[in-house]
Amino acid sequence: MGESRRTRPVGRTRVPIWAGYAACLWAAVFAAMSFYWALGGTLGLKTIGTFAQSRDATFVAMLWVTGIMKAGGGLVALALVRPWGHRVPRPLLLGCAWAGGIGLVLYGGGNLLQHALMAAGMYSVPGAIGSTTAVWGHLLFWDPWWIGGGVLFSIAAWGYTTSTRN
């Protein structure tokens, strides 16, 4: 059987490497949004909440820090599928990837539930969010975005786990 560019054979299974590249792209787009907002961009801020529109120094600093963390996540994702990633200690790389994947899914899932309750009127909208526009922005875009990233990181971590077993 021929080896595809999207998968590589490992024993009897085929490991998807596309997820590592997709997780890297996900992280890069997410980091770019953080840096854009940190530099003063306003497109999409209404979907986050009123706190984001205030340009508070703490929020701007948080954008820089999270942007750097997201870019780091992209490097973790690439390390899972590129040959240079084997230089990173396996437990460290897998720990970061699995923690990231599971953490993103849990964070997105918890927020999805909370925002669904807000949209249904079963939970009051906090002042920091401030508007139904932001609630729907979270519910329809941001929360699924977090979950999608978590799924991509988890698939990439699984692929690395199976391809590097002794």
Domain that holds residue 73: 17-163
Q: Is residue 11 part of a domain?
A: no
The secondary element (H helix, E strand) that includes residue 8 is strand 7-10
Asked if residue 7 belongs to a domain, the reply is no
43 within a domain of the structure (yes/no): yes
5 — pLDDT class (breaks 50, 70, 90): very low
71 lies in a domain?
Answer: yes
Contact present, 41 and 19 (Cβ < 8 Å): no
- In a domain, residue 129? The reply is yes
Global pTM reads: 0.85
Compare 127 and 87 and report the one with higher pLDDT.
87
Instruction: State the pLDDT at residue 14.
Output: 57
pLDDT in tens, 15-68: 579 999 999 999 999 999 999 999 999 998 888 877 777 888 998 999 999 999
Q: Is residue 1 part of a domain?
A: no
Alpha helix (H) ranges present in the chain?
18-38, 50-53, 57-81, 90-119, 132-137, 143-163
- Residue 164: band (very low, low, confident or very high) from pLDDT cuts 50, 70, 90: confident
Using alpha carbons, select from 73, 68, 36, 63 the residue that is nearest to residue 149. Answer: 73
The average confidence (pLDDT) of the chain is 88
Mean pLDDT along residues 65-87: 96
Q: For residue 12, is it within any domain?
A: no
Number of domains the chain contains: 1
| Residue among 44, 94, 43, 36 nearest 70 (CA) | 36
Question: CA–CA separation, 118 vs 141, rounded Å?
Answer: 15
| Residue 8 domain-assigned (yes or no) | no
